[in-house]
Structure 1
Amino acid sequence: MAGISSTLYNSIFKRTSTFALACVGAALFFERTFDLGSELLFEKVNEGKLWKHIKHNYEK
């Protein structure tokens, strides 16, 4: 465990610039993942009610 923590400290937490970059990268990754997950959940809950699901009923 000491090897992992020292490697993590030396590569990310030692300098403020790399720590800030890691925070920004993690925030972007979390935001994108959360957005895709909530979009998937919304479409699953509203399946058959959204326009893209019923559009074929109204097109000629």
Structure 2
Amino acid sequence: MALGRTVYNLLFKKTSTFALTIVVGAVVFERVFDQGGDALFEQMNRGKLWKHIKHNYEEKEEE
């Protein structure tokens, strides 16, 4: 219960800190969700994306 009380007093007791906690939590969640989705997409499409196969189509520059 001490941890719950500490979290309440630090983050949820005042309206201003509660609002800030919600905004920061939303931004962090958005970043984590976006990066996780990108990683999943890349994993599922490995070998099919341009960055994985472009070496097959690019010509080497010889000087």
TM-score (norm. length: structure 2): 0.88
Flag the structure with higher helix content.
Answer: 1
Cα deviation, 1:20-53, whole Å, max 9, x if unaligned, reads: 1011111111110011111000000001110000
1:32 aligns with 2:28: no
1:54 aligns with 2:28: no
Could you list the runs of 4 or more consecutive aligned residues of structure 1 that deviate by over 4 angstroms after TM superposition?
none
RMSD, aligned CA: 0.7
Segments of 5+ residues of structure 1 without an aligned counterpart are none
TM-score (norm. length: structure 1): 0.92
Aligned residues, how many?
59
Segments of 5+ residues of structure 2 without an aligned counterpart are none
